[in-house]
Amino acid sequence: MNDLFDAQLKDTVRYLGTTLGETIEAELGREWLQKIEQIRLDGRDSYADVTQSTDNLTALFSSLDNQSLLTIGRAFAQFLNLANIAEQEYNSANQREESLAKSLEKIKTMGANKEKVLAAIKNLNIDLVLTAHPTEVTRRTLIHKHRQLAAQLEALHVSDLSDRARQRIKTRIAALISQAWHTEEIRSVRPTPVDEARWGFSVIENSLWEAVPEFLRELEEYLKSEFDITLPLDAKAVQFSSWMGGDRDGNPFVTSKVTEEVLMLARRRAAKLFSLDMDQLYIELSMNDCNEKLREMVGDAKEPYRAALRNIGNKLEKTSSNLLPIDEWVYDNDELLVPLLACYESLHECGMGVIAEGALKDTIRRVHSFGVNLLKLDIRQDSDRHADVFSELTRYLGLGDYAQWSEEDKQAFLLRELSSKRPLIPRNWKPSEDAQEVIDTCDVISRHSQQSFGIYIISMAREASDVMAVQLLLKEAGVSWPMSVAPLFETLDDLNNSPKVMRNLLEIDWYRGYIKGRQFVMIGYSDSAKDAGSLAAGWAQYESQEALVALAEEKSVILTLFHGRGGTIGRGGLPAKAAIHSQPPGSLTGGFRVTEQGETIRYKFGMPQLAKRSLSIYAAAVVEAMLSPPPAPKPVWRETITKMAAKARDNYRGVVREDPEFVPYFRVATPEQELGKLPLGSRPAKRNPNGGIESLRAIPWIFAWAQTRMVLPSWLGVMKAVESVISDGNEDTVKDMINNWPFFNSRLSMLDMVFKKAEPHISAAYDARLVPDNLKHFGEGLRTELKESIASILRILDHTDMMEDDPHGKLSMEIRGGYLEPLHYLQIELLDRIRKEGSSDYNDNDTATLEMAMMVTITGIAIGLRNTG
């Protein structure tokens, strides 16, 4: 990043804001534009004079009707969207200046030799799992307009544009901004799981399909020039999986029928994309000369390359158009690869290698990265749902209640049935609807190829029997290939117990034979942080991974750790490089698998250049970590962080779990109750709709605190624990940990960013208006700790302001700050009106407007903070 790009970003944001203002003026008149501009100035000036500016905003908003509040909310939410688009284009433009070689330059400075680099590249396996947690607040129709707008901004920044061309682009930008302004931001209904899957497919079609082969080509060029290494044609440096349509944990809308539909849609979308590739290759490969192998394939055809691709091209086109029976669709990757590789080899043998290395090579690499299924679908289900099936079944068979058995008895039963050649489930058994759904899901898996699926994840896995139960269900359904089953360890206790559970599994002879030397384990970040706070959860995750890596080495098993990170620190979110380098040494041996959720998919992969940049960052970080693993913690570091994590856990739980005033305060001080009305994702906000805060999912839990700028789950209890340990005479040790241990340094760096987003005076404004007098002291206590925590981290890092080490991130937040401020005070006004009215009657037009304005402010604040949960 440099000053030129920073200036360009500011200019672009200013230009887009002016254009939006012209759109508003055209519809509502000059008076409205002046009113919105004055609100913007008050929001910006609040940093200099909080009391006067916020008093002005509060007085104005209280005097306006609901429709006017909706209009103001839309204006500021739209502007924040435009600021995000400007920054995306800025990052995309910066990618053109920052090549992959620059990202990888540290490899050369480490003195890595050719053999080590080659080994790292061969083991480079990045699996990005696209998820649709309820965090993507922007409608797909607006995302499409935003993508077009970004493309126009990119064109506008070409240096040698003629005046006429520049004006034409500006006219198009104005039209797109006007289209967005006249489009409702909020979905009228929640998206279905199939809708979410289609959105995931569109990210591949519009961005990743182009970005992946470009990234691999640049990686290959770098390796060739610097180390004389050729990237293998079948290199799977990056591949994609998905939870959209497969994640049924707590989502009653993801059924076996939905999973089947998503699988079919994915295959058709892949067929469409490969069909377009084949059309392009058919145009290009018009040569006559070929080798003997290709001649044997096509006979005496005059244009052998076109002949080799004709049948598969026609089949792909008919598959995409749904003109073939399913059993005649392109079934597996080999069906595509055989003719493609035959053409590739022939071109090289016949002196036309330059042709082979073009579009044909890109298509071959797409087959390896995406495949005929587009991406691999993971299945996720709660462990209790599997146990319930066996409870019903064992009662039916007169064997007692499986749920009441000891772990030893469960394992003995499961092992006996896994080794048996007879079916366990009687044909005439009629299970409950819930049990049947679990069985039907396994049946869907049995009807599709192994290439269609990633792994089967068991939420709330606590015992070895939880894994074996899934394997028995898959066997009973007729799944003929060994599907990888991954326990997900989520809570603090589960993380701490995970090495014991996995040891029990790996000491079972049958199990070791089943997994064939490969084991997946998913580490949960969201629920563990909600359970124990971010620092205690982070250390438990580290120790768990460390122990699992050691166990895998002991048992000669390749372990792939699957990181269920979110976009925020409260859900394990870290910048890609920091996340990878803060893992224990040896944790990348089996590859790197991580969730990419909701709005972070769009920010990282929404445009081809952005996607290429993100893939380059991941690749550089993984290769660097493999060549130069992070250090194992020194004994004194381990002792210090253990004390620190325990204190942070007790601090956090002392507030969230043990203080009787916490839940009543949370309910009134944040828009948690109103969030349920925002139609974000297909999954309900609560696992149990009748439950309290303990059943609230980690995402809305964090979302609610972000809205008030308290961002409490990310920092509560942490700096108090750090200061406590320092006061015990450990300041030098803590400094050493900051300077030399990536795990600890990354956590403080993320807190630095979190504190930049926190605004105590905004949280205080929510309390002043919404919290009853008997609870106001509670919020004051939290803000006192927040302010003390900010002062503490500045002192420890020897900084004078937040985000000193990330000037671009700091600039980004400061650009948004003045536009976020009015939305918060607008939201406070709306919350006050909604709660006083106590009505949700959407037949009442005024109430509907009030509710819509509320949802617009929630959306706008989430957009401005660049993450929701």
Active site residue 776: no
Q: Per the structure block, which two tokens stand in for 253?
A: 């809308």
Which residue's entry shows tokens 């409950």?
432
Report how far residue 567's alpha carbon sits from residue 601's, in angstroms, rounded to the nearest whole number: 10
Contacts 24+ apart (CB under 8 A), 11-17: 12/86, 12/89, 12/90, 12/153, 13/82, 13/83, 13/86, 13/815, 16/79, 16/82, 16/83, 16/85, 16/86, 16/173, 16/177, 17/79, 17/82
As a whole number of Å, the end-to-end CA separation of the chain is 27
- For the question of residue 530 being annotated catalytic, the response is yes
Among 185, 184, 186, CA closest to 678:
186
Question: Using an 8 Å Cβ cutoff, are 599 and 136 in contact?
Answer: yes
DSSP type of residue 186: S
The burial class, CB within 10 Å (0-12 / 13-18 / 19+), for 211 is buried
DSSP helix/strand/coil, 370: coil
pLDDT at 863: 85
- pLDDT, residue 284, reads 96
Dmax over CA atoms of the chain, in Å, equals 90
The DSSP secondary-structure symbol of 404 reads G
Question: Out of 146, 410, 448, 530, which one is annotated catalytic?
Answer: 530
Q: For position 809, what pLDDT does the model report?
A: 80
Q: Which of 156, 176, 151, 153 is nearest to 166 (CA)?
A: 156
Contacts by residues 828-834 (CB-CB < 8 Å, ≥ 24 positions apart): 828/58, 828/765, 828/766, 828/769, 828/770, 829/58, 829/61, 829/62, 829/69, 829/769, 830/69, 830/854, 830/857, 831/671, 831/674, 831/766, 831/769, 831/770, 832/769, 832/770, 833/66, 834/674
Tokens of 404: 């009441």
| pLDDT under 70: residue ranges of the chain | 1-5, 45-50, 92-104, 108-111, 133-140, 187-188, 566-574, 599, 677-699, 838-845, 867-869
CB 600 within 8 A of CB 88: no
**Phi–psi pair at 633, nearest 5 degrees:** -65, 135
Q: Which two tokens stand for residue 47?
A: 């940093």
pLDDT at 868: 43
d(CA 571, CA 524): 9
- CA–CA separation, 562 and 236 (whole Å): 17
Residues 133, 368, 410, 720: which is the catalytic one?
A: 133
CB count within 10 Å of CB 459 equals: 24
The DSSP annotation for 565-588 comes to --SSGGGT---HHHHHHTSPTTTT
Supply the pTM of this predicted model.
Answer: 0.90
Structure tokens that stand for 100 in this block: 């992959």
Rounded to whole angstroms, the Cα distance separating 576 from 567 reads 11
Q: Are residues 390 and 436 in contact, defined by beta-carbon separation less than 8 angstroms?
A: no
DSSP 247: B
